[in-house]
Amino acid sequence: MDKPKVVLGVSGGIAAYKACELLRRLTESGHDVRVVPTESALHFVGAATWSALSGHPVSTEVWSDVHEVPHVRIGQGADLVVVAPATADMLAKAAHGLADDLLTNTLLTARCPVVFAPAMHTEMWEHPATQENVATLRRRGAVVIEPAVGRLTGVDTGKGRLPDPTEIFEVCRRVLARGAAEPDLAGRHVLVSAGGTREPLDPVRFLGNRSSGKQGYALARTAAARGARVTLIAANTGMPDPAGVDVIQVGTAVQLREAVLKAAPDADAVVMAAAVADFRPAAYASGKIKKKDGQEPEPIVLVRNPDILAEISAERARPGQVVVGFAAETDDVLANGRSKLQRKGCDLLVVNEVGERKTFGSEENEAVVLGADGSETPVPYGPKEALAETVWDLVARRLG
């Protein structure tokens, strides 16, 4: 089979150096990558680097190899175009259909999925002109990854950083896998919780669970690749932030509830993949609990934590909001799942069997998605990403 053809557009920002890493990831994973930098991008990384890493000649303008009509052929032949970094100027040109160099011509002739990974100073990103251009590109079906927050060029920090190249690669991989499918979550805001809460006993100890957060992260990454604005509430996961996803870190169930309730009114869908502790210690010892010679330890008294899924399902902070829960069961998996779906009042419940070697921390999962409408969607054993795609298929159908 032919390798998938990817065009890596690079526009003129300091983050161009990070695109070398993205290029490596793409080529090493079996993609045929043609790099199309802009003239200004070459101020940051030279043509020799792009050419050596991609194994293809590199040109910025339409006047080389004219007999091969590169300004049309490169775009026409691509399975994916990714522009990283995309400057404010590049977004403006793409939104308005300007075509004054090879990259902008390529963007006009490409009929494949297009991903933009913007990087610029916060003021430029937040400027209404840029925001309107981004909205235009998204409306037309492009995936525009939200920039990350962090250190910018010079001493500034803020929103505008190019996300980690590994994470941009993850978006590209998912968009390519979807082929011609539209980014059906474009214009939607989805909220995902991931990980497992920790309920502190004293400054050094907590009650926790074995959730790794991988399923929640797979849901967040998949939603971003399908065009959604994603807020991920992460409880003790320790994983890198997915590209284009706003990540809010929390520790306890009470903090998770606060973060979910704050973000939910603005969300079209809420997916509670986090393993929330049902109980927390009734008392928190501000100093470390010490063992005492000749004395048995004090029993730990627990109190119930609020049930966040039941609460958001009952309240529906936004009309038409789709709420998805997860159920980890060890016995009577389907029967328990069905009664849990009813009890919690959510629209969909992903039921999976857990055990010593199943689900927790692994890359694979097997589940049945139960619908409040009586539907049952089995998801065979496979990567957590595949389960995530099924969940979003079902959510997108319900969002209409």
CA-closest candidate to residue 354, choices 372, 342, 339, 336: 336
The residues, ordered by sequence, that sit 6+ positions from 299 with a Cβ below 8 Å of its Cβ are: none
> Which residue in the list 209, 236, 352, 365 is annotated as catalytic?
209
Nearer Cβ to ligand CTP, position 288 or 304?
A: 304
Does the N-terminal peptide bond of residue 128 adopt cis geometry, omega within 30 degrees of 0?
A: no
Candidates 22, 120, 328, 341; binder of ligand CTP (CB under 6 A) is 328
Q: Name the residue nearer to ligand CTP (CB basis): 20 or 367.
A: 367
Asked if residue 321 binds ligand CTP (CB under 6 A), the reply is: no
DSSP at 67: G
Report, in Å, the least distance between residue 222 CB and ligand CTP: 17
Give the three-class secondary structure for 257: helix
Q: Which stretch binds ligand CTP (CB under 6 A): 134-142, 176-184, 224-232, 305-313?
A: 305-313
Query: Shortest gap between Cβ of 188 and ligand CTP (angstroms)?
Result: 20
The least CB distance from residue 344 to ligand CTP, in Å, is 6
Size of the site for ligand CTP (CB under 6 A): 14
Does the protein bind ligand CTP through residue 308 (CB under 6 A)? yes
Site string for ligand CTP, 249-288 (x = CB under 6 A): ----x------------------x-x-x-x----------
Question: CA-to-CA distance for 274 and 193, rounded, in angstroms?
Answer: 5
In the complex, least distance from residue 312 CB atom to ligand CTP, rounded to whole angstroms? 8
- Name the minimum Å distance from CB 221 to ligand CTP: 19
Query: For residue 69, how many other CB atoms are within 10 A of its CB?
Result: 12
Is residue 327 at the binding interface for ligand CTP, with CB under 6 A as the rule? yes
Nearer to ligand CTP, 103 or 328 (CB): 328
State yes or no: is 336 an active-site residue: no
**Start-to-end Cα distance in the chain:** 36
CB of 94 to ligand CTP, least distance (A): 39
d(CA 123, CA 144): 18
Q: What tokens were used for 146?
A: 């939200």
- In the shown chain, the binding pattern of residues 217 to 256 toward ligand CTP, with x for contact by CB under 6 A and - for none, equals ------------------------------------x---
Q: What is the largest CA-CA distance in the chain?
A: 91
Least distance (Å) from ligand CTP to the CB of residue 195?
10
Using CB under 6 A, which of 61, 307, 315, 393 touches ligand CTP?
307
Please tell me the number of Cα atoms within 13 Å of 272 on its side-chain side.
33
Q: Which residue among 326, 387, 389, 396 contacts ligand CTP (CB under 6 A)?
A: 326
Measured distance CA(36)–CA(34) in Å, rounded: 6
Q: Where are the alpha helices (DSSP H) in the chain?
A: 16-28, 41-44, 47-54, 70-76, 88-96, 102-109, 122-126, 128-139, 165-178, 214-225, 253-263, 308-315, 333-344, 384-399
- 305 part of the interface to ligand CTP, by CB under 6 A: yes
The interaxial angle of helices 88-96 and 128-139, nearest 10 deg, is 50
Tell whether residue 190 is a contact of ligand CTP (CB under 6 A).
Answer: no
Tokens of 22: 């993205």
Residues near ligand CTP (CB under 6 A) = 253, 272, 274, 276, 278, 305, 307-309, 325-328, 340
User: Which residues are known to be catalytic?
Assistant: 209
